[in-house]
Every structure is written in structure tokens, then in C-alpha cells.
Structure 1
Amino acid sequence: MARGRFKVVCSYCRKRKIGCDKKSPCTACVKAGNPYCDALGRPDQKSDEVTDALRLRVATLEKQLFENGIHPMAHLSDDDPKDTINFHDAISRIDHRDNQTWKYMGPFKWVVLVSMDDSLLPIFKSFYQGKERPACADGVAPSFYLHSLDKQVGLFQQPHVQGPDETLRMKLYNTLPSVRAIYLLIDRFFKIAYPYMPILDESDFRESISNLIGGRPDEESRAIISGNDGSSPAIYGILLVVLRISFITLTGGSNRVSNFCFHNSKEELDYLSSQNIGPDFIELANQCLSVYNVTGNICFEAFQLVVALRVYSTVGPETTSYDSRSMTLASLSNHMAYNLWLNRDWHTDRPDFNEKKDLLQKKLWYTLVFLDLDVSLSSGNLMSIVPETFDVRLPIFRPQKSSGHNDESEKMAIEHFHWLERSRLAFTDCIKMTGKVSGNVKISQLERSLMKLEEIYDDLQKNLRETANVPSLTIKDSFIKYTTLKLLLTEHYFLVGVYTHFMYHYIKKEDIVKAITYKNKVITKFASVLFPLIPELANQSMTILSGSTDIFICGPFIQCLCQCSLFIVSALVRFNHKLNSMRSSPDHQILLNTNVEYRGLFNEIEKHLSLLQQCNHIVLSMYDLMKNKYAAANRMSILTRKVTDCASSPDYSKPDAIIKNSIVDGNNLRMCNQLIEECLEKLDFSSVTGYSSSSPTSSTISEIPTEILWESGSLSPFEKYFDFVSIEEMSRYIL
């Protein structure tokens, strides 16, 4: 029987009569460079097994790609690599070198967004055009507080610590409440507010206060002001901040004292709410700090006081979040921390190692790190504390080493540091690109970094949705909910700021498709995240049982409302112009009757304007709920109403560069309207819109500003510096 042949000599070797090793391809063909070797090799069983395994692996990968919806080319971008954006182009027109208020301006400040909006800029310029600079005594700005004719409501109280002849000791004696109130507020601070400001060692602080003020915790007598060592003024300053923060947690956003909240009985709440603990406590704490030479031999307690004042500057209802004072405190606290070597880890093998002090220093350092991150996300500026400048490890909670009375609060604070650290790298990558003072950033590169932020953003929303209907029955539940909400709002502000810059960037380049894409992203963020929070905060469903700690998220919440207000008013101006131009066209009626696309676009614009007016009314009503407590809400309420009045005026009518008369525009507007309608129908805003508040332009003397004040020429204190002035400064000079 003929034996089957598995190998044959290739044609190349046979023709040349040379030896062929009968491989495929053979060695002779490889050496000769012959690409057409036709030798047939014997099938190798081992080779077949490898091939089958590879085929199985490929099939498995194809199945995974199909099930996960991932496409092989999804990571490649169609964006032009030369498509770049400079976030500081808009800032360059504002010379902020001559005034400290603008020293730390970032690309996401509302004034920068106004400068890019052709609809809003003329309105804000008109507020002070042709006015004279108001007279101020000795160049000092008017009072930061509410108008003197207004009744004393909420937490706005005139400071009484102003006597130049009083010594610091006398001022403290005249300011501090009774010993009982002090100890009740200290207990409340460490039970409720401490996780938001974990910069103290509880046992050391209580011991220091006990030595300084004397008396038993239940005494109604005045505190005795004692202590002559170098740290006493700083400890008193920290005490003033602690008392003020504890006091403002007594009320929620609507300025009502809860009938019940954790740690205090109804009788204690009534007693504490009757105490006179106003913004003057913070002014006096600043005077305590002025005793020290913070650039010389630094006192550790003075550093703690600076950090405490910095934390308060971001939550105090009478301050504007991230204002010039807050930024000054940020620079000072960072400088002192580096001088104290808090950025370096303390080696445990050192003979002077103190585990208790090491824990306190780590808490102080990471408080600064995440405060710095918060400011950067809220402004778009580069972080001052970058990862390359410190090697401090995160603090670790050890119950056996805890020296405080509230181990749960200590544990919550430390766990919060670990939770924030998991997202810090993603935040830092984005801030590095928006925080450049000069130079362009590739949009495609920034978008890839933003994808990580969007993932964190979605996770935060998911966590809040899961706990939305669960009452905060414990302080821990409340803390987790509020810290999640605060990070969500801060990230929301950052993302909306970036997408708004993208929108104006593509409008300027006349790339309408991409401009619409980012505009829709902004609308989606407002409708899906910000507006659903409004009725919940208005109803205080998150704060009645949690000790009214909404004070710690109202700063970023008001900032987000400010973004939303400007966006809505800008849209009102543009769509009013579009609607009026369509109505004034001689062919308007004919097109309405004959052109389906035209009629659909006209109807959607009318509907869109109606929805925008509803949204604006909700935002204004939310400002009214908060304005008696939060200075920022009061100022935004004033400005938003004034700008809204101008939105329908033909003097400020501006065309919309995005909307054209096409079916695409009608369909896009229809999708936006559906999104806003679903938001308004799904949520109950009656608790917000039903709030009674008179118009700021009424004739009552206690309502400000009146039309007379608006025309009094008091809106241009910085006209020689800027094309327009900030909401904070503009409203400050009319109050």
C-alpha cells in the first residue's frame, strides 16, 4: 500500500535541485528571499492545540466585547488634536491686579461666564454705566451686614465688639455667653459639627477651656477670662469659632429652630437659640489671631485658629464663600502648615514621637488638602497643595487611642478623609488643565479626564438616590448624606463651568453642533441634579433629625443656583429675541399656516420660554427662603430679580447664535422641553413657590434695593478696574 506523503519538495528547490527541508516555508526559500514557497508541512498536533486555544480566547473576547457594549475603536477620538481651549481668555480682559477681591479669580467665577455671554454682558454693564463712584468714609467699604432699617432676623446681627479702648480680655468677657451655654455648645459641636471640622483634640481642648473660663458646666454665671500664656488668645479664638459654628447648626436653611434634633432637648434648644452668638464672634476671633506674628515663631494653637477661621469662611452665613478673606486665610494656613512641617510624615521611630499629636497633625493637614481641593473645584484655579509636596499618610482611627468623648464623630471624620482621597487624583488631573493661567489645553485630552469625573458624579447621584427616601435617623447617616451631597454639588459646579466654557468656545468658532451638545449637557445637569435638590432642601427632609447641618452644603448649593440663574436669564434674553423676530416677520402668519417645521419651532420656543420662566421663579423663590440667613442668597436674589427684569426688555435683545429656523433646531428644543417638563412634573415645588415674599422693588422701606437705590449711582465702586462688578460688591454697596 502506498504510503501517504505529508511533505513535498517545493518547486523552488526541485527546479534548482537543492536540498529542501520540506518546512513551510523551507529554509532555502527563506535564505533566498523567495516569498512563494509551496512546500506542504505535516499538520502538527501540538500546533493544532495552540491554534484551538487561541481561537477559543478570541471567541471569548468577542463575546465579552459584545455583551459589554465596548467597541474596539471606542477609545479613539475623532476630535481635531489642534482643537484647544484657553480657560483664561475671558479673565484677561479683567484687570484684577489692583484689588484683592479678584486676586484669586478663576475661570468658573460667575463674572467670567458673564464676560463670555453677549446677552448678559450688556445688562450687567448697564447697572453702573455713567454712575459716579460712591463716597466711602476714609475709603472703607460700607458694612457687610444687612441694611440697618431691616429688622434683625436670622443670624444677621450687628457686631458689638468695636470699642477701640477695650482690651481683648474685656471684649472676651463682654462677648462670651454663660458657662452653661458654652459647655452645651461645645458638647453640641463635638457631637454634630466636629466631623465637618476635625481640627481639634477633644480632650485637650476641653481641658484648656476648663482651665481658662472656670465654673461648672451647669452654671449660669459669666465666664471668667483667665490665662496669661502665649497660647491663651488662640484658644479663646478657637472657642469663639466653635461656639459660632455650633450655634448656626441650631437652624436650617429656612431659619427655623427644630423642635427636636440630636443631642439637645427642646428646653436646651430654646435656651441656646436665645443666646446672642452672631458674626461678631468671628470678628473677635480674628482679633485674637492678630496678637500673633504668624510669619515668625508660629504658635501651633494660632495655626489651629487660622484653619478654624478658614473652615468657617466657607460655611458662615454672613460671608460670601471663597471671598478674598477666605483666600487670604487659605494662603496663610498653607504657609503655616509647611513651616510647621505638617506636610512630612512623622517617623514612628523618633524618640519624641507622639501618636496623639501625630493623629491631630494628620487631620489638620488633610483638612487643608481637601479645603484646597474644594476651592479649586469651585474656581477652576490650580491647587496650592499639590501631591508632589507632601508624603503624609492618611490618619487611621484607633478606638483604644482615642482621647475624645465622641468616638463616632472621630471615626466619621477619618473615614471621610479616606473616602475623599479615592477621588482626589481624578479631580487633580482636571484641575491641572483648567487652572493654567496661560496656554491652551487640548479639548480631547480634557474630555478624557472629565469622563473619570462623570463616573464619580454618577456614583454620587446613585448613592443619594438610594438614600433619598431613608430618613436620617443617626448623625452618621446625616453626615454621609451631607458630605456626599457637598461633593456632588462642588463637582456639579466644576462640570457645568467646563461645559459652559466649551459651549461659548464652539459658538465663537461657529461650530453649532458641538455648541448644542454642550448646552444640552448643562441643561441635563440642571434638570437631573440641581432642581431635584431644591424641594428636598426647602422641606428640610434631610435636616430635621440631623441637627440642621445643611449649613455645611449651602455654600456650594448657592453657587450652583447662581450658575443656573445666569444660564436661565441668558436663555430668556435670547429666546425672547428669537420669538419677537419671528412674530415681526411679514411672512410669520403665512409660515405658521403653511410650514410645519416653522410652526413646530415657533411652538417649541413659546413653550421653552414658559418653562424657563417657571424655572426662574423656582430659583428666585429658593433665594427668598434662604436670603434671611445667607448673605450670598440675599445678594443673588437682588441681582437675579434685577437681571430678570431686563431680560424681556428690547434694549438688551440679542440673537441666539445656536437657534436657526430648521427642523433640527425644533427637534433639539423639543428634547430640552421634554427634559425640563419631566423635572417640573415629577417634583413638588409647592413648598418653594408657595413661600410668601414681597418684591425687592416694592415701596416698603425695609425691602432693598428699591428702584431709587438702583439709580442712585452706587453701583460702580470698581468701574476704573473692571468692565463690570461682582454680585458681591455690587449688592454690598446698595445694602
Structure 2
Amino acid sequence: MPFERNKKRARQILVCGNCHKKKRKCDRNLPCSSCIKLSIDATCAYSTMSYKKQHLQDDRSYSSEAFRKIPGNIDSRERNIKDDSLHNKIGILNNKIKDLEASITMTTFQNKQAPRGSTTQHDDNHIIQKYHANKSPNTLNNVKRLGDDIRLIGINPVLSSEDSINFLDSLTKDPESDLRVVVTPFGPLRFLVLSRQDPASILIWKYLAWPKRKHFSLESVLNENSQDNGLEDLDGRSRIFYGNKYIKRLEKNHSESDTIEVKKAISSFGLTLGLSFTPVSFHYDSNLLEQIKQILPGKRTLHMLINMFFDTLYPFFPILDESAFRADVSRITGDYNPDNLDGHIENIVLGSKYDLAFLATLLITVRLSYLSLFSNDVVKNEELLNSQDAPSNSRDKRYLMQHPIPIEVITVAERCIKEFELITEPSLALFQSLCMMHIYRGYAPEEDPSNNHQSVISIGTLYQMASVLYLNRDPNYILYFSLRKIDERTRMLKRRLWYFLINADIEDSIIYGSPIYTIESNYDTEKPCLYEYTSNISNVVLEREIVTACDEMHPVVMFSHKILDMIFRVRSDMKISDLADHLSDFEILVEKTLGSASEYLVSDNCSPEFLKIQKFKLYLYCKLMLSYMYYCFFLYFENRNVQLSMFYLKKSWAIVHYELAAISGDILCYCDDYFGSAFALMVTPIIEYLTRMRLLLGQFRVRLKNTRLSIDMHTFNKVSMSNSQIKLYINSLDTLTDIVSEIEMQSVKSISSLSKRYFYAWKSSQSYNYGRSILDDDELYNSDKESKSRADLKFSLDELQQLENLLHCCLDLMKRNSSNLMSRTSARNIHPITDSEEHILNKHQFDKFWFSFDLLKQESVSSRNGISTYDRNRENYPINQRSLSVENSNAAAAFDIDNNILYENNLFGSFAMDDFFFDNPFNIIS
């Protein structure tokens, strides 16, 4: 009888294959500790999937998607060890680190610096079910992890994976209610709308509605600033100090001689700012061709500015073809002779009506090139303007600064564009002129981007015309019925125009809250690629660098495009967990592709100047978008989970006050050392919006003071807090108030430093000074009891102290940067601003400068509305076409649209300023 071995019970193998084979103790993790010690964790696997599924189900709160796709076949894994061992080891270790960090994020981070006796909200910890774990471990290789970095990049917890969010609905409504709330039609990232949903801003708005409240206007700014300066006879002293540059104050019913005098003074004083009026008499009702001839500079100046555009600004706006552009200039204005120093343009020769569109592009181009000459450091501009012995490139700049391009060129450009019916007469030349006008509105220092919602309107106009011109279809996919096929340069130009529109669409969506028009499913235009004979400029090397730069930044651009498209869909109750995952991936992509702010603030020649500026500008837009989004999350979670609400408030603050602490208005005065001459024109506008976001701290200061008053009035909810803890709570509120006030003042200094060159920065600083008086008014907290109760903070003592620690770090970093700036300015012999008489006179002069400048600009808009723009019977313009006037046009122009009609019966329709401090526009002419 053969020997029969006892049969073993068929048991499920619960240990990994390696431990089972070697009979080692296994802790049943993946990878297990034994395999990790022996450095064979890459081969750690289990023979069945049943246990692994149960194991992951038990730990589902801390699982990541990388664990869900681990193969169970040991042999197949072993066959790939030689090729993928190192990759898998790094990937698995990174995933393990991510899971461990995710599991302790709330408990560790919440109690990181909590003192004894502080209270925490332990009840909420078990509710938070999901933390984002990036699907690709390798994307985190260059990113600092939690514990080393307060930025929390790539970590976005949510309350429940089934919760939904709609950014076009109210973020602060009752989470149990299914009813839609009446909201503004503007997009959620518009600053005014964003601040309007905060409980503090609601309290402020209720106060602003009081009939007894003093109304605010720019005229009141001049009156109050003149009275509070501490100097007698300020205008008399100013007249003596500034001489022929003295700007007198214009009254409402001023005369024509007053206008001429003020324009002359503004032009003289504004020469170092790039802002001036034409020195000759300019009538808006005169013939259009005469206006063009009158406003165009001499041929030498014209061609120098054209050269500057294609050398310096073209990389940022590659939407023109250089050879065609120069040929059209010569054809319309005549050939340029460098030996002729006078070179006055004697005649304008138009071949067709569409040459007016080209002339509009030309006028905007020379004005932008002229503005690119100026730094934000006014003293530096003055030194260059008055220098006698300078290198050749500085001599060219000085020559151009001494031959200013007045702002009336934009008025004439608008009149050229208004000759067309934008919908029924589309053309590539007209589309280019509209694009250039859109660019100018966003970058010119005298423009007010908050005033008439023009940017939102023009993007819609541009998109409609681009669709009519089939720019959303790649030229290679279009069958052309004409015998003459378009050349490769034109194909390249069309692709560039479409991708310019995509970038403009993204920027407008972030700044103005406009919906995304360039939906990805509606176009198939390929990215611009440089082939032989496809360059649109003569400098092929520069063209190649531009294409390479676009490829490098394209993933970030399109990812932001995708997120913005998601949140601006009206019927888009998306899962907040999906959005959190997208934002985490986006944060990591931005970190990998664009780096951090400190990496840009160094002098290096490793990359082209335009590329460094472009990447830094994109970086700021991305960070501004993320700070907006996380502020929305803060509002969304406030009535759902206090811990998550505080988490996203800290993320928003960390971006604005920590990551971007080095970005201030002061640093823009010497930015040329880091970036080059184009930086001031290209990046300053986004700095203005960033500084405005920083001023949202004012709303939190209202909530701190409101909570303090509620405690004193015994109306604050003090559940589970002892008397000693209440005292600590009050001390923490007072400390936070002091820190917030100090950070606010740092932000005010930043926006004030830009107010000499940028009208919007000046207006923002004036509005904040007015708004600060409102925030400090005790009557604010008595205006509405219900709103006051809702504005109380719900944070625990521990959470307040965490906010205190975070803001302390931000403030210390700001002070270090400010100290470095002072040492740098001292080395350059730049005198800091003081409260001397000269400083007071200078501030008063700039107040009058911007007030008068904007007043004259408003008057020019009023005077030219409805004017017939072209005399069709002139012999030098023999074009037999129908009327060139827009009076009978059924198309809405992108300019001068009546704001009251467009936004009729809308709460926000009368606002000229995207600021929550007032309920009426800066009503200059009333």
C-alpha cells in the first residue's frame, strides 16, 4: 500500500508571496515591512485578490488609486523587475508617503503648534473621508511635502465624495436646501461677486444701504486729502513747487481755456509716465483721415517703434506678420528714408476700406511700443529722459520718450474700427485690430479695467468673429474653393490668432468671471509649429524660441482652461471631489512647470527675457485663480464643516500672503534687473489684481471685531469653553486683529507704490482708504443684527491660534522682503517715501493728475459718441461703398457700450469699481 501524505487544509494565504516562500513574519501591508527591510518591496505581492480587496476596503479613508491596480501575478511582476525595479520602488514609496500624510493631515496639521489648554474639534475628524492622492507618483518628485511646506500643494480634502457644488449658485446657502438662490449673472471669480458672498461683506453691504451713509466720489477724495495734509495753502505751494507742470483742479463747469491749460500741464508732468495729450488742437468731429495724419508720429519715430514692437513685444502677442505689416505701412504712409530726419507723413493712401482696420492696428502698436519704454520707477524714467551721455540703445529710448505718442491715438483707432459692422464685415485685418484693442485695454496704465465690463464684451465679439473666419478649424482641414490657396505663413498666423484668443479667454475668465467661449470640443486648430518658410517675423531664432515657449506652457494653459470651463457651466452641479482632484493635479503641474516666485527674482541669462516674463505672468494668473477657488471653497464649507472651511481659508491665504509675499508694488520698481524692459508693461496689471485679493483680509478683520463684540455682548456661542479659554480666545482675536491690520498696511503700500503710473492702482488705494474708515466704524456692527450674528467666527481657540501662526509666518516673510528692498534701494540711492512737505505736495499733484486725466478722458468719450466718422466725398478716398458709419449697424461694438442698458435692473450694474466698499461708481460727472 503506497504511503499517503495527510492532506493540508486549503487555507487562504494571507501573507505576501516573499514571506510565504521564506517563512518570514509578514505584517500584511503592501509592501510589507519585511520586504522593505530586504529591499525587495518591488516584488511584494499577494497570491489572491480577496484579501487585498478587504484590506483596502477597511482602509478606504486613506487609500489612493495607485494601490487599486497592483497586479496579483507574482511571476509577471518578476519578469519586469530588471526594467522597472527602480521606477516601481520610487512610485510605491511615494504612494506610501502620500497615504500616511493623508491619514494624519487633519490631526497633525491642526495640532501642530497648539498650546496647552486649547480646544479642538475632534468630532469632525471622522467625517472627512477623502484626501486627494495624485495618480502619478513621479509628478511629486520635485514638490515639497506636507510638514516641510505650509502651502499644502496637492492636498484638497472634501467632506463627501457625493457632495456637489455649483459656482453659479450661492456658495453660502443652506446645504439642506435644494432651492436655487437669486444671484448675480456675473461669474463667481469676479472679485465683486466673490467678496459679496462672505458674511462680513454682507454685513458691510447692509451698512452701505443706510440712507444716512456718506456717499463717496473721487471729488470727495481731493477735498479730504487737501484738508488732511497738514499744510496751509496747498495749491499755492504746489504751484510754486511744480512751475509749468502744476496741474490746477478742474471744476465741473470748466471753460475751453481751462481744458487746454490742464492738458498742457498733464502732458508736461506725465512725460515720465508715458501719459500725455496731443500738443495740437484736436477736434473729434473732424475728418477721420485728417485725424490719422495729424496723430501719426514722424516716419523715423514710427519705424523705430515698429522695430521695438517686433523685437520686444511680438513674443507676447505673435498675431501679426512682420513682412506684410511693414509692406502695408510703406504702401499707406509712403517709403521711409533713414537719411530724412524730419520724415513727416504728408499723405495717407488707402487702397480699400479694410486699410482702416490696419491703421487701427498700427496706431495701437506704436502706442504699446511707446509704453514699453517706461519703468514703474518714475525717477529712473526721468533720469533716462534727461540724460545726455548714454549708450546707443538708451539714446534711442530717450529719443522716443522725447517724442511721445498721445492717448488720442487710441481714440482715432476706435473710430477706425467703428467704420465696420463687426458681424457682417469680418476680415482677418479687422480681427487683428480688435485683438490689439483688447490687448491695449488690459495693459495700458490709464485704462480702468473695472469700469465698463468691456473686456468681457470684447471676448464675446472676438469669439464670434473668429468663428465666422473659421479660426476654430485648422487651415489644413478646410477645403478652399478659390484657386489661390493660402500660404504657410498665413496658416501659421491663423493658428496663432486662435490660441491668442484662448489665452485671452482664460485671463478674462480669471479676472472678470466671464464664461469660457473657446470650448475645447468646438475647435480642432493645431498648435502653432515652426516649419520651413512659416515664420511670421524675420528673426527665425526668436520665432523658434516663441514656439518652444508656447509648447512648454501649453499643458498648464489647457489645464486651467479645462477647470474654468467646468465651473462656469450654468447646469453644472459637479462633484466637489472631482473638482478637488483636478485642482490638486493642477497645483502639482504648476509647481513642476512654473516653479515658485522666488525662482524668478534672480538675475540670470539662462533663458530669453520674454520666456521668463511669460512664465512668471502665467504663474501669477494660476496662483490668482487658485486663491479665488480656495476662497470659494472656504465659503462653501463654512456652513458644512468648520475644519474644512478653515483648511481652505489657510490655503487661500498661504498663496496670496506666503507664496507671493515677495511680489509687491515696491519690487516692480527694479524689476528690469530681473526680467528686462517689457516686464513693467506686461506684468503690472496682474499685480494690481493680486494686491486687490490681498485686501480681502479687511473682511476677515470685520469678522474678528464682530466676534469680539459678540463676546462682550454675551451673544457669542461659547459651548464647551471655560472662562479661562474664553480669555485665551479673546486674546487670540486681538492678536489676529493686530496681525491682519499690519498685513493690510503692507498691501496698501504695495498698491500705493503703483498709483503713480496706474490709474486703477490709484483708484484702488483711494477706495481702500475710504473703505477702511467704514470697517473701523462701530455703526457697521449695529446695522443688521441677523447679518451680525452670521458674521461671527465658528473657529475654535486652537484653530484661531493656527491662523495666528500662519499669518505670523506671512508677516515675517513680508518684513524680510521689505528689509531686503530697503537695503537694495539704499544701495541705488533711492530715497524712501517720507511725510515731508515734498511728499505731501507730490501726493496732492498725483491726485489732481489722475482726477483731471480721467475727467478729460470721460469728456472725450461723451463728445465723440454719435459723431459721423468719415467724409465719403473726399477725392483722396475714392471708394464706392455703402456708408462707413456704424449708426445703422445692428452689431454691438466692443467699445463704449452703455453700461446702464447692458446691466439694467442688476444689483451690480451701477458699479464702476470692483470693490465691496461702496455702492456707487466714481461719479466724476454728475
TM-score (norm 2): 0.64
* Alignment-mate amino acid for residue 669 of structure 1: L
Of 476-485 and 403-412, more deviation after overlay is shown by: 403-412
* Alignment-mate amino acid for residue 194 of structure 1: Y
Q: Is the 8 A contact 2:743 2:811 kept in 1?
A: no
Q: 2:553 aligns with which of 392, 417, 420?
A: 420
Deviation at 1:440, TM superposition (A): 2.6
Shift in alpha-carbon separation, 1:531–1:733, aligned structure 2, 3 A: farther
Q: Is the 8 A contact 1:95 1:721 kept in 2?
A: no
Is 1:526 aligned to 2:548, yes or no? no
Deviation at 1:357, TM superposition (A): 1.3
Residue aligning to 2:242: none
Is 1:343 aligned to 2:472, yes or no? yes
Is 1:607 aligned to 2:740, yes or no? no
Deviation at 1:71, TM superposition (A): 3.5
Residue aligning to 1:387: 520
Shift in alpha-carbon separation, 1:55–1:200, aligned structure 2, 3 A: closer
Q: Is the 8 A contact 1:572 1:648 kept in 2?
A: no
Shift in alpha-carbon separation, 1:573–1:226, aligned structure 2, 3 A: same
Q: Matched residues in 1 for 2:458 and 2:920: separation?
A: 23
Deviation at 1:202, TM superposition (A): 0.6
Deviation at 1:650, TM superposition (A): 1.2
Is 1:445 aligned to 2:578, yes or no? yes
* Alignment-mate amino acid for residue 442 of structure 1: K
Residue aligning to 2:166: 86
Residue aligning to 2:381: 257
Q: Matched residues in 2 for 1:660 and 1:373: separation?
A: 35
Residue aligning to 1:358: 491
Q: Matched residues in 2 for 1:727 and 1:70: separation?
A: 44
Q: Is the 8 A contact 2:705 2:737 kept in 1?
A: yes
Is 1:555 aligned to 2:685, yes or no? yes
Deviation at 1:635, TM superposition (A): 1.8
Q: Is the 8 A contact 1:173 1:225 kept in 2?
A: yes
Residue aligning to 2:298: 178
Is 1:647 aligned to 2:771, yes or no? no
Q: 2:323 aligns with which of 199, 203, 216?
A: 203
1:338-391 deviation per Cα after TM superposition (whole angstroms, max 9, x unaligned):
212222222399772411211111111211122112222334443101111221
Q: 2:200 aligns with which of 119, 124, 140?
A: 119
Residue aligning to 2:530: 397
Residue aligning to 1:725: 911
Of 721-730 and 200-209, more deviation after overlay is shown by: 721-730
Deviation at 1:623, TM superposition (A): 1.7
Is 1:481 aligned to 2:612, yes or no? yes
Q: Is the 8 A contact 2:376 2:757 kept in 1?
A: yes
Is 1:65 aligned to 2:92, yes or no? yes
Q: Matched residues in 2 for 1:730 and 1:203: separation?
A: 49
Is 1:53 aligned to 2:75, yes or no? yes
Q: Matched residues in 2 for 1:431 and 1:253: separation?
A: 32
Deviation at 1:166, TM superposition (A): 1.3
Is 1:683 aligned to 2:817, yes or no? yes
Q: 1:627 aligns with which of 739, 742, 755?
A: 755
Q: Is the 8 A contact 1:85 1:442 kept in 2?
A: yes
Deviation at 1:676, TM superposition (A): 2.0
Q: Matched residues in 1 for 2:595 and 2:810: separation?
A: 20
Q: Matched residues in 2 for 1:456 and 1:691: separation?
A: 40
Shift in alpha-carbon separation, 1:242–1:408, aligned structure 2, 3 A: farther
Q: 1:212 aligns with which of 323, 327, 332?
A: 332
Q: Matched residues in 2 for 1:433 and 1:499: separation?
A: 15
Q: Is the 8 A contact 1:213 1:226 kept in 2?
A: yes
Q: Matched residues in 2 for 1:148 and 1:94: separation?
A: 47
Of 212-221 and 536-545, more deviation after overlay is shown by: 536-545
Q: Matched residues in 1 for 2:684 and 2:295: separation?
A: 27
Residue aligning to 2:59: none
* Alignment-mate amino acid for residue 339 of structure 1: V
Shift in alpha-carbon separation, 1:403–1:7, aligned structure 2, 3 A: same
Q: Matched residues in 1 for 2:474 and 2:845: separation?
A: 62
Is 1:298 aligned to 2:422, yes or no? no
Residue aligning to 2:700: 571
Q: Matched residues in 1 for 2:708 and 2:771: separation?
A: 19
Q: Is the 8 A contact 1:233 1:289 kept in 2?
A: yes
Q: Matched residues in 2 for 1:377 and 1:700: separation?
A: 30
Q: Is the 8 A contact 1:310 1:326 kept in 2?
A: yes
Residue aligning to 1:190: 310
Q: Is the 8 A contact 1:638 1:731 kept in 2?
A: no
Of 654-663 and 609-618, more deviation after overlay is shown by: 654-663
Q: 1:266 aligns with which of 387, 390, 394?
A: 394
Q: Is the 8 A contact 1:252 1:543 kept in 2?
A: no
Shift in alpha-carbon separation, 1:254–1:440, aligned structure 2, 3 A: farther
Shift in alpha-carbon separation, 1:258–1:400, aligned structure 2, 3 A: farther
Residue aligning to 1:670: 804
Q: Is the 8 A contact 1:478 1:546 kept in 2?
A: yes
User: Secondary structure at 2:343's aligned position in 1?
Assistant: coil
Deviation at 1:161, TM superposition (A): 8.5
User: Secondary structure at 2:649's aligned position in 1?
Assistant: helix
Is 1:224 aligned to 2:370, yes or no? no
User: Secondary structure at 2:463's aligned position in 1?
Assistant: helix
What's the % identity of the aligned pairs?
18
Residue aligning to 2:587: 454
Q: 1:514 aligns with which of 614, 634, 644?
A: 644
* Alignment-mate amino acid for residue 75 of structure 2: A
* Alignment-mate amino acid for residue 314 of structure 2: Y
1:88-144 deviation per Cα after TM superposition (whole angstroms, max 9, x unaligned):
235998887xxxxxx7x311112112321232244356557548999xxxxxxxxxx
Q: Matched residues in 1 for 2:654 and 2:841: separation?
A: 30
Q: Is the 8 A contact 2:333 2:345 kept in 1?
A: yes
Deviation at 1:327, TM superposition (A): 2.4
* Alignment-mate amino acid for residue 53 of structure 1: D
Shift in alpha-carbon separation, 1:704–1:258, aligned structure 2, 3 A: closer
Shift in alpha-carbon separation, 1:690–1:443, aligned structure 2, 3 A: farther
* Alignment-mate amino acid for residue 911 of structure 2: V
Shift in alpha-carbon separation, 1:252–1:460, aligned structure 2, 3 A: farther
User: Secondary structure at 1:732's aligned position in 2?
Assistant: coil
* Alignment-mate amino acid for residue 329 of structure 1: S
1:247-274 deviation per Cα after TM superposition (whole angstroms, max 9, x unaligned):
1111123344287899962222121112
User: Secondary structure at 1:120's aligned position in 2?
Assistant: helix
Query: Mind listing any 5+ residue stretches in structure 2 that lack a counterpart?
Result: 11-46, 48-71, 101-129, 134-156, 172-179, 218-258, 782-787, 826-830, 856-898
Of 619-628 and 67-76, more deviation after overlay is shown by: 67-76
Q: Is the 8 A contact 1:576 1:648 kept in 2?
A: no
1:451-498 deviation per Cα after TM superposition (whole angstroms, max 9, x unaligned):
122113323552543343224x58x53212211121122112211111
Q: Matched residues in 1 for 2:501 and 2:733: separation?
A: 47
1:27-80 deviation per Cα after TM superposition (whole angstroms, max 9, x unaligned):
xxxxxxxxxxxxxxxxxxxx9xx9863796999768852354244996687632
Deviation at 1:186, TM superposition (A): 0.8
Q: Matched residues in 2 for 1:186 and 1:63: separation?
A: 53
